[in-house]
Structures are given as C-alpha cells and as structure tokens.
Chain A
Amino acid sequence: MLRRLRELRRYPSAIVGVGIIGLLVIVSIYTVLAIPYPEAVRLWRGGPGVWDDNPRNAQPVWFDWFTGDRLPRTIIVTAEDGGVKRIEPLADGRSRVEIVLPFDYAYDRFPTEITLFTRATYDGTTRTRFAATWHTPNGETIPIVTNRALRATDNYYISQDAQLLMKLGVSPEVGLLSAAASGVPPSARSPAKGRYQLVIQTEIAEGAEFDAKLVVYGQVHGLAGTDHRRRDLTVALLWGTPLALVFGLLAAVGSTLSTFCLAGIGTWFGGKVDALFQRITEVNMILPMLPILIMVGQFYSRSLWLMLGMVIALNIFSAGMKTYRAMFLQAKEAPYIEAARAYGAGNFRTIFRYLLPRIVPVLLPTFVMIVPTFVFLEAALAVIGLGDPLLPTWGKIINDAQSQSALYKGMYYWVVEPAVLLMLTGFAFAMVGFALDRVFNPRLRTV
C-alpha cells in the first residue's frame, strides 16, 4: 500500500494537489492558533466598535497593481499617535484644549469617508462645545465645524455634513482634499498631496478630559478588503479554511467509512441483514439530499455541525453501498477468507481484518474525490443563505456579496477571493483523487 502511495510521485498533478492541501492545512493551523474560535466569532459577529476604523467595501491593498494609481489606505490619527495635544489653563479653572491631528496624504485618489471620533469625560450637565478647522497643504484654512456639542462619545461624520457639502460644492471628502477651485466637478479633481491638519479647539471644565481621533477611510484595506459592514475579509477567508477542510474531511470520512463497514457487514452476513440494507439504500437513494438539508436548515437549525451530521446520516446508505457490495461479494469467495474461517476467526474479525482491508485501495481514491463535493455542499448551503449563523465561511462571504450585488457594483474581489479558495481546495483534492485512482485502480493503469 505504501509502495503504491509512493508511486504518486510520478504524477505531477498529485504533487501539486498534495502541496495545496498541505498549504491549506498549514493556514488552518495558523488560523486556529492566531485567531481563536471565540475571537473569530467576536470579530465576525461583533457590534459597534469592532470594525469602526475599517473602510466600507474597500478593495484589497494589492488592487493597486491593476490601477497604476496609488490607492488611499486608511489613515488614523490620534492625539497620542502622531497628533499634538496642548492644554492651556485659563484663569477661571477651566482649560483650553487644542488638538492638532496632522497626516500626510500621498495617494492618487480621494478617500471614501472622513470621520472624527471624539470622547469626553466631564462632570455636571453643562456641555461645552468644540470647533474644528481643516488646513490644507497649500496653506488654506477651512472651518468645518464651529459649534458642535461635546458628548461622551461623538462620531462626527465629516463626509456626510450637509452644510459642508453646500459650502464646498462637492462631497466633503473630495472638496477638503482637492486643490481645484469650487465649481470643478469631482471627476476632474485630483487630491492635493502633502500634509493636512485638523485642528480642534475647545474649552473644558476642571477635571474633564477630551480626546479625538481622525479616521480618513481609504479605498483599500488589508490583504482581502472589507465588506459592507466594514468587516475585514481576511478573518473570514482564514477561518473559512479550517471549516471547509473539517467539514469536507469529516463528511467524507463519516459517510464513506460507515457505508464501507455496513456494506461489508451486510455482505458477510447476507440474508436478512443484507436485504434490509439494500432496501434502506433504495429508499435513501430516492430521498433528495439538498432539499432535505434546506428544510432542516430553514426549520430547525443552521449550525454547521448539525448540517455535517445530517450530511453524514443521509450519505450512509448511498449509492456507494451497491458498489462496495458488488466488490465484497467477490472478495467474500476468496480462498484466504476461507482460510481465516478455517482457523476459527469470528465473524467480525473476518470482516474487519480480512474482508474490509482488501477493498481499501478502491475506497481511498473515492474518499479523496468525494471531499470537494462536501466542501462545495457546505458552500452551496451558505450561498442560499443557510450558512452557520456564527462562523465565517467562504460560502457566507459569497452569499453576502451576492446579496449586496457585489458583481454588479464592480466589487469583484468580494466574490473572487472566497471562490478562488474554494476552487483551490476542490481542485487539490480532485487532482490527488484522480491520481490515486490511476495508481490503485489496476484497470486504469494500462490506459
């Protein structure tokens, strides 16, 4: 058996396949160690605060290669990191706070959004107010807000400020960053490169705190981009790997192995057991698997593990039962089985020690080739919206992308990334399976 496996080296496709599978396994191990399960669920399901600093629907960073332009990354400036915070005590016990948030802008396109997050802690009920001005590299100063109330937490969406839009004539994220005069349409503008500054001024009471964070959202983010809820797709792509592999492998092991053993037992005992298994198989072959899975997903639970259980259960008495039975019927008559009986081997010893191992070479290629079926089955369920509610899987990314019409809007990365990973997984197992088939199936060897 091992000698036969070594023959695989003669097939380049098998080597490539094994290589890809190995890579996927390494990625899976890394993912599970680097982003533990609860962390993955938190990152994927998390509420406000988890992804606030990510741009919405951003392309992956390598998208630069296709455009030629340098696309804007997200810039985050805080008083602690890159900014300057000056506190100047006033005569009446209050103090004047000035926060300068500078950033260098060297990209060829405009950002997607600009948001100013402020946090304040203060006693009493009197709220003070703050003003902010925008300084461009050309030395222009644009007052963007003069009198905004301080809140414990405040998100000032600069790019959605209607007054600013009126004043600039174009949307703020374009107007604030472009050198052109007003009246030029956005398509004709290009961003002015250089050092920008946002200056925030306020007066706060004694013992009060004030902090600000400026986020200039880019057009690209991370290795995989982000989705409509600002989630970094890297998390889902990484976590999709172990989930796809585990689902595919467990389903394949569970269904082929159980079918295999039951076929062996049925054939060995023959008679009523065999007849029963045959009838169950015939009924089971009429049961449509996908519709049943859809019903279970819709009416009971969408948990990945329940689906796995259902898939295995529905596949035990599958068409494989008939194929294996035919092989076992032949093997059962072999002289060495008779020899085993002669020395007094029990039923189960004969089945598991002598009968089953004989057919293993035939089982192995089928087993490897059936893995992609289950990987894609899981993806299919997710694509029609029956994916696991908690876990990020590849199919769920495709489902999100479909429901947001990603292809129509030109956000191809959103569909292509999970699809390519699915394809790699599927092809890798299929390539190994086909090669195994040629190695282990003697009738194919000559042709």
Chain B
Amino acid sequence: MRGNLAALGRYTIVKVLMLGIAVIVALYLTILIVNMGGKLDDVRRSEIKYEVTLRVNANPETQLMPPSEVNKMIDRLCELEYRRLGLDRPFFVRSFSYLVTALSLSLGRSENLVSDSGSRTVKRIILERLPATLLLFGTANLLIFFTAVTLALAISRKYGSWIDRLVVSLAPTSAAPGWFYGIFLILIFAAVLRVLPWGGMVDAPPPETTVGYAGSLVRHMILPVLAMACGGLLASTYSWRTFFLIYSSEDYVDLAKAKGLSSRAIERRYILRPTLPTIITNFMLMIIAMWMGAIILETVFNWPGLGRLYLQAVNLNDTPVIVGVMVIYGYLLAISVFLLDFIYAIVDPRVRIGAGAKKGV
C-alpha cells in the first residue's frame, strides 16, 4: 500500500513536471513568434516616439524652445518610456521576464483591445469571453459526445440494419469541419429561409427578461451546434460503433449471452466496463478541444468567444492579449491532460502504475 502511494506520488510529480515543461516551451515559442524577430519592437518604438512627439509638440512651453532643445527633450522622454516598458533591455532577457510574468498569470494590460465593459486588463477581457466559448462548445461537445456514444451502442446492437449502413456510408461526410457546414447552414437557414439568425450570441438589443434572453441565446446557438454536429457526430458514431462491435465479439460477451443475461446487463457489465478507459480518454480530449473553442467556427458565426478574441488580438498585434490567451489555454490544456492521465490510471487496471501491480493489486 505504501509502495503504491509512493509510486503514485512519483508518477504524479513526473507528470506535473513534464506538463510544466511543455507549457513553458509552448509559451516561450509564442513569445518568440509574437516578437517577429524584433520587428514588433521597432513598431512599438516608433509608436512611442510618435506619441511622445505629439505630446511634446502639444505642450505650449516647447513652442518657444529652439528645435534642437525640443528634439533632445523628445529623445529623453522616449528613452524614459523605453525604460519604463523595458524596451532598453535585449529581447533575450525580456523574453524571460515576459515568460515569468505570463506564467504567474499577471497578464497585464492590453494594447488595443478593450473589453465590452471598457476594461483594458487582459484578465477581464479574457474572462468576459470565456463563458461564451464554454457555453457554446460545452453544449455542443457534450451533446455530440453523448449522442454519438448512445447512438453507437444502439446501432452496434443492430449490426447490419439499414440505420447501421446509413451511418457507415455517411461517415465520410465528417471529413469537412464544422465551420464549413456552418457556411452551408447559414446559407440555408439564415439567407434562404430567414428563420434563424446569421450569427452573434443574442439579438441586438438583448432582450430584457431572462426568459427572452435565454430564448434568444438558444436560437443563436442552434446553427453553430448543428454545424459542429454535422462535422463530427457521424464520424464519431461510426468509430464508437466499430469499437463496441469489436468488444461485443469477445468470447466473454458470448458467454454472458449464453447465460441468458439481458442485453442491458451485457452492455453495462461486459461492453461499457472494459471500454470505459477509452470513453473517458475521448471525453477528456473533447474537453481539451473545448477550451480553445474553434477559431474559425466562432469567426463564421460571429460568436464572441475566446477564439475570435484571439484572432482579433492577432490582427491588432495585441501582444499581451495573445500571450494571455495562450497562457490560459496552455494551463487549461495541461490540467486537462494531467487529469486525463490520472483518471486513466485509476480506471484502467492495466495501466495501474508501478510497484502495486507486482503485488497483484
């Protein structure tokens, strides 16, 4: 028992370390790319110089000074500003200080983007967008995941029936991603039939009552959720079906059938139980995918989530927001992966780790 705990501890520490390194590497890469090999610094320097020049020229005292004095003043103020923002240090040094501040979750202030409530702190901007992403992708992914598993279980029972064949033959349609179906759905339901909204999250202006608000929200969510279902439901039903079929052709399932167990009991005890680790893995992978939402889908549907925030930030060269989104994403991803490994180790007796296995636990 003690050995078991120690092994678990060691396993946990190694995992946390590995994931920590992965997050740091991912973040550092982001910082390197965002810096554009120094070009971004030039952009920021010239922006600062421009602002300082404007400020100095607007100052009535400088009107009477000789131009050389004014230029000196501008240079001095710029220098101060560079120092304040840390631009006087080499990028290599700065990159690590960026990394440390980012990792400690002090995300700082955005350069251009403003949150809907008018705040410039990156944390506020991100927190404002996170619920939108989670709402849409949480709903869609949970719906798709559980529909796929239940549907797959149902059709694996009726192997060879017309619905089974339909799913098999339609599975390749999932080769196209959700955003792609989104365009078609917008065309059909918004452009031609004019029954559902084109995009966005709620009507403008937002309805006053809670019920009205929720209704409007649901109406706006139908198309994106449907688009994601088109892009993923059939393929995942297909793969679950195949998976269940493989497991239900095992000898012990035949034995259970011979014993005369009900098909529900067989499913629960002999098919779902051994496939649980895989189901959980896929569930966690789905949650991982959910954090980032889908940049393109959010863009197509004009959904005010994290993905679109990221795209806006990239378009505006808003480094703090880009780094902020990546940090949040990196952390959430790392936590999800860690939990995945952990749950996997608990559920699957074969991967139950270390010393315990030897003792036949």
Using a CB–CB cutoff of 8 Å, the interface residues on chain A facing chain B are 13, 17, 279, 282-283, 285-288, 290-292, 294-296, 298-300, 369, 372-373, 376, 379-380, 383-384, 398, 402, 407-408, 410, 412, 415-416, 419, 422-423, 426-427, 429-431, 433-434, 443-444, 446-447
Considering only CB atoms, which chain A residue lies closest to B192 in the complex?
A412
> B98: shortest Cβ distance to chain A, in Å?
15
Contact in complex: A383, B296 (CB < 8 Å): yes
Residue in contact with B40 in the complex, picked from A291, A299, A379, A427, CB distance below 8 Å:
A299
In contact, B169 and A423 (Cβ under 8 angstroms): no
Q: Determine whether the beta carbon of B187 is less than 8 Å from that of A295.
A: no
Q: A416 to B185: give the CA distance in the assembly, Å.
A: 11
Closest-CB distance, A12 to chain B (whole angstroms): 9
15 other A-B residue contacts (CB within 8 Å) besides A288-B329, A410-B191, A429-B175: A285-B22, A288-B292, A288-B326, A291-B310, A298-B315, A299-B314, A376-B175, A384-B311, A402-B300, A407-B187, A412-B191, A415-B187, A423-B176, A427-B172, A447-B242
Using Cβ atoms and an 8 Å threshold, which residues of chain A touch B186?
407
Contact segment of B30-38, B70-78, B255-263: B30-38
**In the complex, which of the residues A288, A295, A296, A372 contacts B176, with contact meaning CB atoms closer than 8 Å?**
A372
CB of B249 within 8 A of CB of A447, answer yes
Asked whether B355 is an interface residue with its Cβ less than 8 Å from the other chain, the reply is no
Q: CA A410 – CA B190 in complex, angstroms?
A: 11
Answer yes or no: B322 CB below 8 A from chain A CBs. Answer: yes
Number of interface residues of B (CB under 8 A): 56
Interface residues, chain B, CB within 8 Å of chain A? 18-19, 21-23, 25-26, 29-30, 33-34, 36, 39-40, 159, 168-169, 171-177, 179-180, 183-184, 186-187, 190-192, 198, 242, 245-246, 249, 292, 295-296, 299-300, 310-311, 314-315, 317, 322, 325-326, 329-330, 333-334, 337
Bound-state Cα–Cα, A18 to B179, Å: 26
Question: Which 10 residue pairs across A and B have the least CB separation, nearest first?
Answer: A430-B172, A430-B175, A372-B175, A447-B245, A426-B175, A283-B22, A286-B22, A407-B191, A299-B36, A431-B172
Q: Which of A17, A299, A373, A443 has the most CB of B within 10 A?
A: A299
Known interface pairs A282-B22, A283-B22, A447-B246. Does A295 touch B30 (Cβ–Cβ under 8 Å)?
yes
Are the CB atoms of A412 and B172 closer together than 8 Å? no
Nearest CB of chain B from residue A320's CB, rounded to whole Å: 14
The residue from B34, B169, B180, B184 contacting A13, defined by CB atoms under 8 A apart:
B169
Most buried by B among A416, A426, A429: A426
Contact of A295 among B26, B33, B159, B329 (CB under 8 A): B33
Bound Cα distance from A287 to B337, whole angstroms: 13
Alpha-carbon separation in the docked complex, A433 to B326 (Å): 34
Q: Is the CB of B314 within 8 A of A298?
A: yes
**Cross-chain pairs A/B with CB under 8 angstroms, 15 sampled:** A282-B19, A286-B22, A286-B26, A291-B310, A295-B322, A299-B40, A383-B299, A407-B190, A427-B173, A429-B175, A430-B172, A433-B172, A447-B159, A447-B242, A447-B245
Q: Is the Cβ of A299 less than 8 Å from the Cβ of B34?
A: yes
CA distance A285 to B285 in the complex (A): 11
Chain B residue at smallest Cβ distance from A297: B314
Q: How far is the CA of A430 from the CA of B235 in the complex (A)?
A: 10
Contact of A419 with B183 at beta-carbon distance under 8 Å, contacts A279-B18, A444-B242 already known: yes
Contacts of B180 in A (CB 8 A): 376, 379, 419, 422-423
Q: Tell me whether A286 and B337 are in contact (CB under 8 A).
A: yes
Contacts of A296 in B (CB 8 A): 33
Contacts between chains A and B (CB distance < 8 A), count? 132
Inter-chain contact B175/A291, CB cutoff 8 Å: no
Query: Least Cβ distance of B274 to chain A in Å?
Result: 15
Complex CA distance for A419 and B168, rounded to whole angstroms: 23
Please determine whether A398 and B292 come into contact, CB atoms closer than 8 angstroms: no
Within 8 Å by CB of B187, from A373, A384, A416, A430, lies: A416
Question: In the assembly, what is the distance between CA of A380 and CA of B172, in Å?
Answer: 19
Tell me, in angstroms, the Cα distance from A416 to B180 when the chains sit together: 11
What's the Cα separation between A283 and B21 when bound, in Å? 8
Bound: A295/B174 CA distance, A: 27
Specify which chain B residues have a CB less than 8 angstroms from the CB of A13 in the assembled complex.
169, 172
CB atoms of B311 and A294 under 8 A apart? yes
* CB proximity of B167 to chain A, nearest CB, Å: 11
- B177, B246, B295, B337: the one contacting A376 at CB < 8 Å is B177
A384 contacts B33, C-beta separation under 8 Å: no
Contacts of A286 in B (CB 8 A): 19, 22-23, 26, 330, 333-334, 337
A444 contacts which chain B residues (CB < 8 A)?
A: 242
A80 to chain B, nearest CB (A): 44
Measured CB to CB, the nearest residue on chain A to B297 is: A380
Q: Are B198 and A408 in contact (CB under 8 A)?
A: yes
Cβ contact of A415, chosen from B183, B245, B310, B325, cutoff 8 A: B183
Q: How far is the CA of A60 from the CA of B30 in the complex (A)?
A: 44
